[in-house]
Amino acid sequence: MLKIGVLASGRGSNLQSIIDSIEAGELQAEIKVVISDKEGAKALDRAAKYGIANKYINPKAYESKENFEQAMIDVLKKYGVELVVMAGFMRILSPYFVRYYRNRVMNIHPSLLPSFTGLHAQKQALDYGVKLAGCTVHFADEGMDTGPIILQAAVPVKDDDTEETLAKRILVEEHRIYPEAIRLFSEGRVEVKDGKVKIKNRE
């Protein structure tokens, strides 16, 4: 069974969707540990509720980003994590971490990448006036919200949307495609070649 480690900074609704998929028997995987860079993050409470090991690692307690990331790697290794899942983890990983887990770190971002990277992606989409928005699951590389795209889902943008209403519509899709991407990975069906993902035996 695929051993997952989740990195999360906030409320953890994507973490919840992964937990729910596992509980429903749709995803054959085990969340071994949830790590947060924010003390008291709701994601940590969610993990605790399901008896999942959870750990706050304070970035400020380390003198460099590499040292902080090494502390995360040490925990991930301790739990035998095979796939790192960033679920609302609001930090850019250094090349050191990304190389360590090359094509084994997934991220979800609330835009149709490569558009609207970084913070407030939904507001960026509204400000631009795009008619389709959405979300992307991708392998993390050295950039910010970049790396081989695994799955995407689009939603319409409505004329009267606010950042909140659009974010909510996108979130429904996030909760659908993140567990799906992990399932494909767990089945060994996610192939990366020349920086692009191919899904084997796609229905």
Q: Which of 5, 110, 134, 148 binds ligand GAR (CB under 6 A)?
A: 110
Query: Would you say 21 is a known binding-site residue?
Result: no
**Which value, in Å, is the radius of gyration of the alpha carbons in the chain?**
16
Q: Is 109 in the site for ligand GAR (CB under 6 A)?
A: yes
Check if the beta carbon of residue 199 is closer than 8 Å to that of residue 177: no
Write each residue from 133 to 172 as x if it is in contact with ligand GAR (CB under 6 A), else as -, in one continuous string: ------------x-------------------------x-
Q: Is 12 in the site for ligand GAR (CB under 6 A)?
A: yes
- Collect all residues with Cβ–Cβ distance below 8 Å to 62 and sequence separation of at least 6: 68, 71
Neighbours of 26 (CB within 10 A): 12
Quote the CA–CA distance of 101 and 114 in Å, as a whole number.
22
Structure tokens at 194: 């020349």
Query: Would you say 111 is a known binding-site residue?
Result: no
Report in angstroms how near the CB of residue 174 gets to ligand GAR at its nearest. Answer: 5
Give buried/exposed letters for 137-153 (b at 16+ CB in 10 A, else e).
Answer: bbbbbeeebbbbbbbbb
Give the HSE-up count for residue 81: Cα atoms under 13 Å, Cβ half-sphere: 26
Query: Would you say 12 is a known binding-site residue?
Result: yes
Continuous segment of H or E residues that includes residue 65 = helix 65-78
Catalytic one of 109, 120, 138, 175 = 109
Q: Is 88 in the site for ligand GAR (CB under 6 A)?
A: yes
Active site residue 109: yes
Query: Would you say 65 is a known binding-site residue?
Result: yes
Q: Which stretch binds ligand GAR (CB under 6 A): 4-12, 27-35, 56-64, 188-196?
A: 4-12
Binding residues for (6R)-10-formyltetrahydrofolate: 65, 90-93, 107
Q: Which residues bind ligand GAR (CB under 6 A)?
A: 8, 10-14, 87-88, 108-110, 121, 145, 171, 174
Binding residues: 12-14, 65, 90-93, 107
